[in-house]
Amino acid sequence: MGKGNKFLQLENYFKSCSEKNIYLTLNEIEQMLGFPLSPSAYKYVAYWHADNTHTFPNTWINEGYKLESLDLKKKVVSFIKVNDSVKKPQSKIKSIEFQNSKKNINTDFIIKEIKKFHEEISRIKDARYKSWEHCYKFFKENREKRFDENNVFDK
């Protein structure tokens, strides 16, 4: 996992563990991490399964383990080693090239606009479900336009 991974302590535990079966309480996991798990970890089984929005399961998946059982009432979880020779997933992005890039972009301006957008969208109930629609609509309307620092946030 990358730098800044908040689950690094738990990942290191799986990496150094030689056991085929691992049994942990949620409290033990929190002690390893050094912070409480998300409330979702205590409520939703889906939190413990890999998908695009849950990076937590990659902690054990990347080290060759899979979730064997989960009991949210008893707050216990077990993992089983399924692959001793796990290859770390490589990024699908090899390189990014920017056309017409400007060297002197005002980052303060960009940060201010991002914060403004975040504040606006935070006030909308269920905004997270609408953000894809917003992005796709913006893309369709603006895919042929060239943007620079002066017009990127024009409406």
Q: Provide the residue range defining the domain that includes 32.
A: 8-81
Q: Are residues 12 and 70 in the same domain?
A: yes
41-58 pLDDT, tens digit per residue, is 999 998 998 877 778 898
The values of phi and psi at residue 25, to 5°, are -90, 160
Structure tokens at 105: 């972009």
Q: Are residues 12 and 72 in the same domain?
A: yes
Report if residue 72 sits inside a domain.
Answer: yes
Decide: helix, strand or coil at residue 46: helix
If one counts every other C-beta atom within 10 angstroms of the C-beta of residue 10, the result is: 21
Report if residue 92 sits inside a domain.
Answer: no
The whole-model pTM stands at 0.53
Q: What percent of the chain has pLDDT over 70?
A: 68
Report if residue 90 sits inside a domain.
Answer: no
Q: Are residues 65 and 107 in the same domain?
A: no
Q: Are residues 74 and 26 in the same domain?
A: yes
Give the residue, 113 or 126, on which the prediction is more confident.
113
Report if residue 120 sits inside a domain.
Answer: yes
Q: Any idea which of 87-91, 97-101, 118-122 has the lowest mean pLDDT?
A: 87-91
Maximum alpha-carbon separation in the chain: 57
135-149 pLDDT, tens digit per residue, is 777 777 777 776 655
> For the chain, how many structural domains are there in total?
2
Q: Are residues 67 and 107 in the same domain?
A: no
Q: Which residues pair with 80 in a beta bridge?
A: 21, 66
Q: Which residues contact 84 (CB under 8 A, 6 or more apart)?
A: 64
